Chains A and B, each alone.
Chain A
Amino acid sequence: MQSEIIKRTVELFNSEEIVRAIGWRKGDFDYDLNPSIFKSSEDLEKNFVYNDFSSANLSKFLIKISQKEDGKTLVFLKSCDTYSFNSLLQEHRISRDKIYIIGVPCEENLDPSKIKAALGEDVLSMSCDGETVTVETLDGTKTISKSEVILDRCLACKSRKHVVYDELFGEEGEVLDSKRFDQVEILENMKPEERYSFWRTELSRCIGCNACRDICPACTCEKCVFDNRDSGVENKVATNDFEENMFHIIRAFHVAGRCTDCGECSRVCPEDIPLHLLNRKFIKDINEFYGNYQAGDDIETLAPLTRFDAVDVEPSIVKTRENVK
């Protein structure tokens, strides 16, 4: 697949259809890929990688590029990334006519940390044949079943469908009936005190690195309120309990109705805080209160928090509903 993609992209470079491509660049290890801009076909042929570790959602990088005025940019988008793309398009953050989308098929990404946890830290390389992951370590070659090391977010994949593309590699996928709200439900069924201590345990590990915000394709503010000294809520160096709460609640609120549930926030969190559960809680509530809504599904439907219905539920539903303890 990788070679086919490269071949086609080189064609597009050569025909001057595109002037750059955003893709995944080979890192120090072949499981450690970096999102990157390729400005020539040579660079691409040499360094572009598309494999089970091409997890990064590249849509957010298009914002700055489309604000600059030159030429067309090619971007590789997995099915879940296309939702983010649409969402950005809807919010006028990118210019569709400056972008060429190659939809790439996705068969669940792998989680390098799961592999390391299972097989040890001394990993030299990892590869997967679709069923089995083969890992070269200092102690020799080891294998593990793919199903054990799939990235968490891919276990609850919501859609294999590319909602937007110019060209698609592989088959047209379908929206999946995912079980992505199961974990939210488990929390909802806990007692409030248990929920509180669950989140305190999780959020207290936050080191304020802002990785979740920086990767999030919905968090695209030119200047984040938490970086703005005039906002009155800027993050200070010494974070404390409250600032973690404040930051994560407000961040989740700001992306509520806009989050496509791509799961990048939790993937990049160095402390493995399940941040996506906050977003999923909002998505679940929105579906429940205002009807099913998938951000990025199309670019016409207004986000749930920018519209209303005269007969919407009252906030008191939070106290009276029975499916949450």
Chain B
Amino acid sequence: MSVKEKTEFQPKIVAFCCNWCSYAGADLAGTNRTNYPANVKIIRVPCSCRVNPIFILRAFQRGADGVIICGCHPGDCHYITGNYYTRRRMTLLFSMLDFLGIEKDRTRVEWVSASEGGRFAEVMTEFTNDVKAIGPNRKLEDLRCKAK
């Protein structure tokens, strides 16, 4: 890694991935040795509908620069309907964050199936670049959490 790259802003990115599609898609990206930025750290959840808006705000509070939620494609949810709820919830939450003046590119929902290892890597690379472009999260970060 060059010196220049090291000094570049490295965002913290939390990715919530559903166990059945997206987490498996991420595993497939691994099996296929498809690169994506190490900024992305995955949290496994049973279904994208397990992701509570509180988790997303919590991540931002603790200094995450971007949060992405990945689930099965609509219609393919392992739990039949989970991602349909995710879609509504996140649409409304993201719109609210935008209404509060938070950068739109800090949040994202993507549907990634278990067979889309390549797409998983693409999505993560693109999202990381988007977050890099808008810079560190200052609006939602709670600096007190850094104090310890």
Binding site for B on A (CB under 8 A): 184, 187-188, 192-200, 225, 232-233, 240-243, 245-246, 249-250, 252-253, 256, 278, 281-282, 285-286, 289-290, 304-306, 308-310, 312-319, 324
CB contacts (< 8 Å) of A187 on chain B: these are 99
Cβ A240 vs Cβ B87 within 8 A: no
Check if A289 sits within 8 Å of B91, measured CB to CB. yes
Looking at the assembled complex, report how far the CB atom of B50 sits from the nearest CB atom of chain A, in whole angstroms. 15
Residues of B within 8 A of A256 (CB): 92
Decide if B92 touches A282 in the complex (CB within 8 Å).
Answer: yes
Tell me which residues across on chain A come within 8 A of B75, comparing CB atoms: 310
Residue pair A305, B85 in contact (C-beta under 8 Å): yes
Query: Taking A315-B108, A316-B109 as contacts, is the C-beta distance between A253 and B96 under 8 angstroms?
Result: yes
Instruction: Pick the contact of B92: A184, A199, A253, A310 (CB < 8 A).
Output: A253
Mask, B118-148, CB within 8 Å of A = 1, is 0000000000000000000001111010000
Stretch at the interface among B11-19, B20-28, B29-37, B53-61: B53-61
Cβ contact of A192, chosen from B81, B103, B109, cutoff 8 A:
B103
Measured in the bound complex, the distance between the Cα atoms of B34 and A99 in whole Å is 64
How many angstroms between the C-alpha atoms of A259 and B5 in the bound complex?
48
Question: In the complex, are the beta carbons of A197 and B88 less than 8 A apart?
Answer: no
- Cβ contact within 8 Å between B109 and A253: no
> Are A312 and B96 within 8 A (Cβ)?
no
The residue from B57, B84, B85, B87 contacting A245, defined by CB atoms under 8 A apart: B57
- What residues of chain B have their CB less than 8 Å away from a CB belonging to chain A? 53-54, 57-58, 61, 74-75, 81, 84-85, 87-105, 107-109, 139-142, 144
Residues of A contacting B54 in the complex (Cβ-Cβ under 8 angstroms): 225, 232-233, 246, 250
Instruction: Please determine whether B92 and A249 come into contact, CB atoms closer than 8 angstroms.
Output: no
Contacts of B109 in A (CB 8 A): 314-316
Cβ-defined contact, B104 with A196, below 8 A: no
Q: Using Cβ atoms and an 8 Å threshold, which residues of chain B touch A304?
A: 88
20 A-B pairs (CB sep. < 8 Å): A195-B101, A196-B101, A198-B101, A232-B58, A240-B142, A241-B142, A242-B61, A242-B141, A246-B54, A249-B93, A250-B53, A253-B53, A278-B96, A281-B96, A290-B88, A308-B84, A308-B85, A308-B87, A318-B91, A324-B99
Q: CA–CA, A49 to B54, complex, Å?
A: 42
Q: How far is the CB of A184 from chain B (nearest CB, A)?
A: 8
Cβ-neighbour of B101 out of A197, A233, A246, A315 (below 8 A): A197
Q: Which residue of B lies closest to A308 (CB)?
A: B84
Is the beta-carbon distance between A313 and B91 smaller than 8 angstroms?
yes
Contact partners of A241 in chain B: CB under 8 A: 142
Residues of A within 8 A of B107 (CB): 315
A312 and B104 contact, CB distance less than 8 A: no
Q: Which residue in A188, A249, A312 is a CB contact (below 8 Å) of B88?
A: A312
B58 near A233 with CB under 8 A, answer yes
**8 tightest A-B CB contacts, nearest first:** A196-B101, A308-B84, A242-B142, A195-B101, A315-B109, A318-B94, A315-B91, A315-B90
